[in-house]
Amino acid sequence: MKRGKLGNRSKRGQVWIETVIYTSIALLMIGLVLSYAKPKIEKFQDKAILEQSLEMFKAIDNTIRTIGVAGNKRFIEIGIKKGNLKIDGENDKIIFEMESSYLYSQPGEDIVDTFGGRIVTRTEKTRGLNKVTFTINYTAYNIDITYQGKDEFKTLNKAPTPYKLLISNNGKSSNNTLIDISLQGLN
């Protein structure tokens, strides 16, 4: 009689040990799959964000180029999910930078976009990631960029809500079109 009771306990113990082993094996397998899949997923996400950011960058450039005559103003909403947008009023440039696991272009080489040859793309290796930069230098197009009326440098970082930019044509000075970029709602 004692053997029967002991035998049942032994079987229950064996079931629990098997359950723990199978669960451990399943968790190990899930971990291995995730360790392979997660970097691939991040690369696809970064590629999508870079493509969206390039479209946002083109929209800003298109607004600046087509703003028309002095006194015209246009609002544009831009969403920055990753990276940052730099308005360089001192050097009349607009720059978008993002660190990415995705290799967007050949590292160390400037690629001129087919979008009118205005956007220069550069990828550089940094700390195991790739730093992707889109740049438009407006001095070549006789456009003087300012931020809120001053030749200042402003960085717009990723944000959960879109930024609302006001782009204004403030006329001409020394054959340069004066374009001012300011954030809506700032004092």
In what order do the strands lie in the sheet containing 120-126? 110-112, 120-126, 129-137, 93-100, 84-88, 153-157
179 is a domain residue = yes
pLDDT in tens, 25-58: 999 999 988 888 888 888 999 999 999 999 999 9
**Domain ranges, residue 114:** 44-183
76 is a domain residue = yes
The string of DSSP letters for 11-42 reads HHHHHHHHHHHHHHHHHHHHHHHHHHHHHHHH
8 is a domain residue = no
177 is a domain residue = yes
Instruction: Please give the tally of structural domains in the chain.
Output: 1
75 is a domain residue = yes
CA 105 to chain centre: 15
Q: What is the pLDDT of residue 184?
A: 82
Q: What is the pLDDT of residue 163?
A: 92
The string of DSSP letters for 56-87 reads HHHHHHHHHHT--STT-EEEEEE--SSSEEEE
Q: Which residues, given as ranges, of the chain have pLDDT below 50?
A: 1-2, 187
Q: What is the pLDDT of residue 4?
A: 52
Longest CA span, the chain: 107
Q: What is the pLDDT of residue 34?
A: 85
39 is a domain residue = no
Q: What is the pLDDT of residue 14?
A: 81
- Whether residue 79 contacts residue 145, with contact meaning beta carbons closer than 8 Å, is answered with no
Count of other CB atoms within 10 angstroms of residue 105 = 14
171 is a domain residue = yes
15 is a domain residue = no
